Structure 1
Amino acid sequence: MQVQNIPIDKIIPYWNNARDNSKAIKPVEESIKKYGFNQPLVVDKSFEIICGHTRYFALMNLGYKEVPCIVADLDEEKAKQYRIADNKTSEFASWDEEKLIRELRTMNVPVDLQDFFFEPIDQLLGFDMNFTPSNTYDTEQSPEEAQADFEKEMKRQEKENSSFESKIKKAEENLSQDKTEYIEMPCPHCGEIIRMKK
């Protein structure tokens, strides 16, 4: 699989692309600006797009002159099938909300990802990321309520850690083996002492 840099004006969007990508173009632009362009387009031998229409339009808007592409050796029928299959497979995926929230909480500035979420990230995480500590409480939550929420979160984390440790212990127990025991007895043919598993 080789990646080729192809002039963007030679790339042809597929005229009958069934996927409406218009709402995704702006978020993809933001992703490219923040993290770079790291996923080539897939085109056929005529440089018509098979996969990557959203990335193509985002790159156009950002002023790219060349685009990294993979030229797939597919006939027209296979290219049509792959174009649909590539878009449809994403519909089978879903988010594990608990793991997503845990991952966001490990980041220094999760709000940097706001462009890729429909809901406010601070609400998803359950706190205001713009909050500045002060000596006065100007939020609706009282200090007692804040302490109660903190203790609740600590208990949740303790329970999660305990569950994880329990799983590790169980895995270790499954890996351990009983010590092999042997017995010694004379061979019935030659009389020599031999060792056998008990």
Structure 2
Amino acid sequence: MTGTGPAATVKPRTSLPTLAVEDRPIESLIPYIRNARTHSPAQVSLIAGSIREFGFNNPILIDRNNGVIAGHGCLLAAQQLKLSSVPSIELSHLTDTQKRAYVLADNKLAERAGWDAELLALEAGSCPTLASTSKTSGSRASNSIS
């Protein structure tokens, strides 16, 4: 930031860090002990079902010491699936304060999003995978993705 007080401006980042996806052994990853986000066994099973159906498409975000920053639910699902490794992205550019803030922001920002109920019903109703997921989970298709 430049200046002080309410008129201070944030300097734009001139370049973004280069990120690479790497497989890491599950046992090497360390969940953040103060992660405030919880994952019920039912939700972990839904995540595991998604991984089984679509693949592990959302890498776990970690720090340089293999500490999990984001992806705790996916890690639990991978353990449930008895996977030996998972895709991960190391966020070595974050400070300790930024890592702690991102742990919260990653979860809270998603909660702020909404759903277009008509489009959700249309998409869920026209997708055989979601229809079969809803039958096996005992819920409506739209519930299985929200």
CA RMSD for the aligned pairs?
A: 2.2
Matching of residue 5 in structure 1 with residue 23 in structure 2:
yes
Q: 1:82 to 1:121 in 2, by over 3 A?
A: closer
Offset, 1:116: 9.5
Q: 2:109 aligns with which of 89, 98, 101?
A: 89
Match of 1:156 in 2: none
Q: 1:21 aligns with which of 39, 42, 45?
A: 39
TM-score by length of 1: 0.56
Matching of residue 120 in structure 1 with residue 136 in structure 2:
no
Q: How does 1:20-39 map to 2 (within 5 A)?
A: 20-22=38-40, 23-39=42-58
Contiguous gaps of at least 5 residues in structure 2: 1-18
1:17 and 1:108 map into 2 onto residues whose CA distance is: 35
Conservation of the 8 A alpha-carbon contact between 1:7 and 1:67:
yes
Match of 2:62 in 1: 43
TM-score by length of 2: 0.75
1:81 and 1:21 map into 2 onto residues whose CA distance is: 19
The list of structure 1 runs, each at least 4 consecutive aligned residues, that deviate by more than 4 angstroms after superposition, is: 115-119
Contiguous gaps of at least 5 residues in structure 1: 123-198
Kindly provide the CA deviation profile for residues 31-82 of structure 1, in whole angstroms up to 9, marking residues without a partner as x: 0111111110000000000000000010011111111100002121110001
1:31 and 1:47 map into 2 onto residues whose CA distance is: 24
2:37 and 2:136 map into 1 onto residues whose CA distance is: 19
2:132 and 2:59 map into 1 onto residues whose CA distance is: 24
What is the one-letter code of the residue matched to 1:13?
A: P
2:64 and 2:38 map into 1 onto residues whose CA distance is: 24
Offset, 1:110: 4.3
What is the one-letter code of the residue matched to 1:101?
A: A
Offset, 1:30: 0.7
Q: 1:31 to 1:115 in 2, by over 3 A?
A: farther
What is the one-letter code of the residue matched to 1:10?
A: S
More helix by share: 1
Q: How does 1:56-75 map to 2 (within 5 A)?
A: 56-73=75-92, 74-75=94-95
Please tell me whether Structure 1 or Structure 2 has the larger radius of gyration of its CA atoms: 1
Question: % of aligned pairs identical?
Answer: 31
SS at match of 2:83: coil
Q: 1:99 to 1:77 in 2, by over 3 A?
A: same
Match of 2:97 in 1: 77
Q: Which has the higher contact order (CA 8 A, sep 6+)?
A: 2
Conservation of the 8 A alpha-carbon contact between 1:27 and 1:116:
no
Q: 1:28 to 1:115 in 2, by over 3 A?
A: farther
